[in-house]
Amino acid sequence: MAKRKSASRKTATSSKTGRTSESATAETARTTPVTAIEKSAPAPKTTVSAIADPAPVDAPEASLVTVVKKKDLIEKVTEASGVKRSEAKKVIEAMLKELGDALQREDELNLPPLGKMSVNRIREGSGAHIIIAKLRRPKAMLGEVTTPASTVDDAAVDEA
């Protein structure tokens, strides 16, 4: 085998430049173009989507959830039935207590104007019982319910 000469030797000099072999090697490394590395690297691929415009997506309609409080319920029952407010309040409070107790016992409620209610599950929360129930209402009863938008329109017609 032939002996290799180390490039780190500083004793050999180049005949043209008078520099040591280490500095000559460094200069050729600086001036030599790096075409071999450039050719071996693949060019980045560009992807073109087949679909020019994305399909439009319909946003879900925003709906406001209204909360009916006990005070509002008493007022509506008073107007619908014509009974005194104090009598309606006693009846509604007793009815709500009985409904809550029946749901706690996991009874199935079949109340025709309201619908059929059954308890799916009950779990203990922090300071409360959480009851998950299902209410099934016939479609015939849904036609009688006025939506908040139609109530506002009716009020605007009454004022005019």
What is the rounded distance in angstroms from the CA atom of residue 20 to the CA atom of residue 10? 5
pLDDT tens, position by position, 110-143: 998 889 999 999 999 888 989 999 999 988 776 6
So what's the pLDDT on residue 140?
79
Contacts 24+ apart (CB under 8 A), 78-86: none
Q: Which strand (E) or helix (H) includes residue 140? A: helix 139-142
What predicted TM-score, i.e. pTM, was given to this entire model?
Answer: 0.48
Q: Which domains does the chain have, with CATH numbers?
A: 70-139 (4.10.520.10)
Confidence of residue 157 (pLDDT cuts 50, 70, 90): very low
pLDDT tens, position by position, 20-75: 555 555 555 555 555 555 556 666 676 666 666 666 777 777 778 889 999 999 99
pLDDT tens, position by position, 6-23: 555 555 554 555 555 555
* Residue 1 predicted with pLDDT over 90: no
Place of tokens 């460094």: 26
